[in-house]
Amino acid sequence: MRPLLHPSLVNGRSGDPALYVETLFEKRAILFDLGDISNLSPRKIQRLEHVFVSHTHIDHFIGFDRLLRVLVGREKTIRLYGPTGFIDHVRHKLQGYCWNLVDRYVSDLVFVVTEIASSLATNTARFCLKHAFSAEAVGSSSSIEGVLYSEPTYRVSTAVLEHRTLCLGFAIEEAAHVNVWKNRLAELGLPLGPWLRELKRAVIENRPGNHLIRIGSRPTSPDVRELPLDMLRSVLTVTPGQKVAYVTDAADTPENRSAIIRLAQNADLLFIEAAFAQADKALALERAHLTTAAAGRLAREAQVRRVEPFHFSPRYSGQETRLLDEVMMAFAGQAHEGAGS
């Protein structure tokens, strides 16, 4: 099964953090972090629907201006997520410009901005171009088990980390792929029809075996009957969806380690910061960042299939291979056992 989600680091392993995740077959995308995005074409920026910002240190948020510049004048709603204080940071960015001519725009650009507290309580505000981007309160809520956004194709969840300020880690999980075997349907004498969509949804939503499915070539056809989900499983194959986790700017503390491992557990792909070399462990601790060895060890403990380190500090310019090797050694369990703890 071809994975639906295609992530790529906009600025490689050493540039500003930004991970662009394209949804295959659909012209839409999400972004983790909003560092410099001048490498992203306007076409790619226009596809964005959701932007998840770990925190508003300048290397993670300076790309907001380009996002705004490309989208002004387009009919678009974009959802932004970030830690406590995020709404105010977005407000200040927007209020840095003069919007006296907005009544001349035909289309509206809307930012729906949600900030997440360490308790997972959320607060949402809206900023519309036509209202000169003045903040409009939407409401408060709480994210259940850290899930920030969910739709039939995928869901995004968060973990709140400590970086001397709140910093969010994220994981995107694609829904399971459910395929119907038409020959098996025919063998059971079952028709094709919209009921198969209900069947797939029941599987994805983990309905119990006795959950009844209404079967018919059309919902109103006279041949409609009901069968329990368990009796229909033989016509399906279920492949788990892909999981991609994104973790950056976190101190190597016991609390952060367990939150990261929980968030990234069994991910197919983990993008994780490795800002400092293992030899500079003391510096990493002081700056509340991870070392290469800590990143590799976390990836191993979370049992991810592949690790992609990034956010290498500019002090290691030209030494990408060295840093990468340190991460991969720790990931393989070969280096610095117990180091960084």
Q: Where along the sequence are the contacts to Zn ion (CB under 5 A)?
A: 57, 59, 249
Closest by CA to 273, choosing from 32, 5, 21, is 32
Closest by CA to 61, choosing from 110, 98, 104, 113, is 113
Q: Which is nearer to Zn ion, 57 or 184 (CB)?
A: 57
- Shortest approach of Zn ion to residue 173 CB, angstroms? 24
Q: Are 232 and 196 in contact (CB under 8 A)?
A: no
- Shortest approach of Zn ion to residue 17 CB, angstroms? 6
Q: Which is nearer to Zn ion, 154 or 276 (CB)?
A: 276
- Shortest approach of Zn ion to residue 57 CB, angstroms? 4
- Rounded to an integer, what is the distance from CA 274 to the centroid of its chain? 19
Q: Are 291 and 276 in contact (CB under 8 A)?
A: yes
- Shortest approach of Zn ion to residue 52 CB, angstroms? 15
- Shortest approach of Zn ion to residue 245 CB, angstroms? 17
Q: Which is nearer to Zn ion, 36 or 59 (CB)?
A: 59
- Shortest approach of Zn ion to residue 274 CB, angstroms? 12
Q: Which is nearer to Zn ion, 173 or 249 (CB)?
A: 249
Query: Bridge-partner residues for 27, per DSSP?
Result: none
Q: Which is nearer to Zn ion, 190 or 272 (CB)?
A: 272
- Residue 294 DSSP code: H
Q: Which is nearer to Zn ion, 249 or 280 (CB)?
A: 249
Give me Rg for the CA atoms of the chain. 23
User: What are φ and ψ of residue 12, in 5° steps?
Assistant: 65, -160
Q: Are 284 and 275 in contact (CB under 8 A)?
A: yes
Q: Are 47 and 17 in contact (CB under 8 A)?
A: no
- Shortest approach of Zn ion to residue 88 CB, angstroms? 17
Token code pair at residue 240:
């788990």
Residue number with the smallest Cβ distance to Zn ion = 57
Q: Which is nearer to Zn ion, 57 or 91 (CB)?
A: 57
Q: How far apart are CA 281 and CA 294, in angstroms?
A: 9
Q: Which amino acid is at 173?
A: E
